[in-house]
Structure 1
Amino acid sequence: MSIGTCTAHPADPAPPGPAPGAKQPRPRGSLRTAGLLLGVVLLVVAAALSLAVGAKQIPLDQVWSALTGPSGTENDAIVRDLRLPRTLVGAAVGSALGLGGAVMQTLTRNPLADPGLLGVNAGASAAVVTAIGVLGITSFTGYLWFALAGAALAATAVHALGGGRWATPVRLALAGTAVNAALFGYVNGLSLWHLSTLDEMRYWSVGTLAKREVSLLLTVAPLLVAGALLALALARPLGALALGEDHALALGTRVRRVRVLSVVAITLLCGGATAVCGPIGFVGLMIPHAARAFCGPDPRWMFPYCALYAPVLLLVSDVIGRVVVPPSEIEVGTVTAFLGGLLFIHLVRRRKVAQL
């Protein structure tokens, strides 16, 4: 009896591995972290430019000496008394506007939304023009609290008109448009009635970082910090809400509570920023789009990106306004409006946005 010869079968080939020397793809989380670190570096560079560049150029070594050494020269006075407060205010206000815009776009699921959509700018403007024209208050410190109160009341009115606890993104947008139109009509009417009010209001409404003291920032700093912490805490539930109300409810998100707290965060952030510097537009529109293109739509990443990159945009825009028509200045609100207008045109021409 012969034993048959066994035929050996070759083993299954192993899956091909990476070629020697080939680069492994980096995890997306590493790229996002690198983007945050880059934002910190750019913010430091923008702050240095804000301290050094202006009607009088000051070398960086002299800027450092003015910040760390005893004051005694004209350059020291310029850096400490004029440019340092301006830079600090710009960084805080820019971060608040960028973070507020990110919360607004996530809440309303509207990529063209900015903080003015909830009536924050219109409410602050109406309160300021009332303080100037009716009560005769002309100092920044005097009408600061009027601006904050007006922003809060307008945002509350928009939320109530939009349905209160049952508010939807579409109803919030429509209510915000109606409140904005009514309040800005009031602002224009009262400004034309009181010419002195028109002069004061014209300077505040353009949006500027000039002549803003640190004391104003310290006054609203608790509100800005509270708004920022609240917005960051809402990042996860807002991310669930962005998937749709049904998905959010299935994930255990308390939808009505999240919407109310989001409106509170937007009011604190944008109301405080508007009270200090006047309405500065398009920062809350531009930065979330740029952040979303790099880190994706997840609010847990997008919100920190906006808080870092928005002050970079605002400080750089302020520097551009100082040097483009020397020795005069263009207010930062005008520069951001120009840049934002270009972006807005680009966005509305995109097919996905045009079909909203």
Structure 2
Amino acid sequence: MVSSLAFGSRAVAWSDVWAALGGADDTLEQAAATKRIPRTVLAVVIGGALGLAGAVMQGVTRNPLADPGILGVNMGASLAVVSAVAFFGLTSPTGYIWVATAGAAVSALFVYVVGALGRGGATPLKLALAGAATSAAFASLVSAVVLPRNDIAGSFRLWQIGGVGGASFERIGHVLPFLVAGFALCLLSARGLNSLALGDELAAGLGERVAVVRSVAALGAVVLCGASTAVAGPIAFVGLVVPHACRLLIGVDHRWLLPFSVLLGASLLTAADVVGRVVARPAEIDVGIVTALIGAPFFIYIVRRQKVRAL
């Protein structure tokens, strides 16, 4: 977070960073650091939300390929927001979040139903393929809605890539209650997700209400995805990379995995934002592009593993 305040298109000395944290904006460097504070906070909360949502989705579906971007959840939220703005004149920041959450929920349900068709039910690769196809279709629909509308095309073009630029504490305040609710639902599901990992029948034999656990955890993940997409756009691959990295560090117990996914997700997105600001000075590369460059090779690696191919 301190690096995010210090590095960007304009380098800021550490003394100016500490002065900005104290509320000073007397010099240009201090003003730059002050402007970066809400951007850094937004990167932290969105990264944590996406990392947690990915870990929960992987636990709910028992699918190592699950990710809000890969399963089409983020793009479903994007299509809902774009359609609401273009056809219904949506302008309320809170309305954006409600609409995005509804779109994320419908998209997640659609992908799961499509992935469950045919022999074998909802296998990991079938869900990934259904999610990829749904994401591609929704992305095309988003373009079809936005391109003819010059009045909204400019503002949505950058939002579609995914980024935390232009952050403000007002925007964070609008999305924070939804994120808190999503965090609570997901973290409270940790013990139930441990039982689901053993299989539905064994989980039920241990006294878990499988449908309730899966529904509550999925609802928390959908709320996190919808709120994150509404404020930062459809940022992909954070929810895929982070849970796998956390399993290597602390194991598969969701009581530890979920909090660590929040921490590592926040770290990854904040670092990606810093990299995007530094490598193309004085311009910027949106954080959604940086995470895609990191996540796409990792996704290919996961798919090519023998264990996943066997699933």
Q: Do they superpose with TM above 0.5?
A: yes
**Partner in structure 2 of residue 231 of structure 1:** 186
2:37 is aligned with 1:96: no
Aligned partner of 1:87: which letter? T
Pair 1:124 & 2:57 matched:
no
- Which residue is equivalent to 1:75? 29
The structure-2 alpha-carbon separation of the partners of 1:161 and 1:351, relative to structure 1 and needing over 3 Å to count, comes to closer
Q: Provide the rounded CA distance (Å) in 2 between the counterparts of 1:117 and 1:253.
A: 29
Change (3 A) 1:108 1:250: same
Find the structure with the greater CA-based Rg: 1
Name whichever of 132-141 and 278-287 sits farther off. 132-141
Query: 1:53-93, CA deviations, whole angstroms, 9 ceiling, x for partnerless residues?
Result: 0111111222011111543222222122x200100000000
| 1:107 aligned residue (60, 73, 80) | 60
User: Distance in 1 between the 2:192 and 2:81 partners?
Assistant: 34
Q: Residue 226 of structure 1: CA displacement?
A: 1.2
User: Does structure 1 residue 194 correspond to structure 2 residue 149?
Assistant: yes
The residue that corresponds to 1:278 in the other structure is 233
- TM-score scaled to structure 2, two decimals? 0.89
The 3 A distance-change label for structure 1 pair 354 and 153 is closer
SS class of match (2:10): coil
Amino acid at match of 2:33: V
The one-letter amino acid of 2:17's match is V
- The aligned residue for residue 288 of structure 1 is 243
Matched, 1:265 2:182: no
Cα distance, 1:296 vs structure 2: 1.1
Deviations 1:81-135 (A, max 9, x none): x200100000000000000000011111111110235542122111222134324
Three-state SS of the structure 2 residue aligned to 1:115 is: coil
Partner of 1:20: none
Following the alignment from structure 2 to structure 1, what is the Cα–Cα distance between the partners of residues 301 and 43?
26
| Counterparts of 1:212 and 1:192, CA distance in 2 | 25
Matches within 5 A, 1:1-356: 47-80=1-34, 82-117=35-70, 119-136=72-89, 143-155=96-108, 169-170=122-123, 173=127, 176=131, 179-180=134-135, 182-356=137-311
Amino acid at match of 1:314: L
* Structure 2, unpaired ranges of 5+: none
Shift of 1:154: 3.2
User: Among the aligned pairs, what percent are the same residue?
Assistant: 46
- Segments of structure 1 that go 5 or more residues without pairing to the other structure are 1-46
Computed over aligned residues only, the root mean square deviation of the Cα atoms, in angstroms, reads 2.5
Deviations 1:218-254 (A, max 9, x none): 1111111111111111111111101111110111111
Letter in 2 for 1:57: A
Mapped partners of 1:227, 1:257: distance in 2? 16
Secondary structure at 2:69 match in 1: helix
Q: In 1, Cα distance between the equivalents of 2:7 and 2:268?
A: 15
Distance apart, 1:183 and its partner CA: 3.3
What secondary structure sits across from 1:326 in the alignment? coil
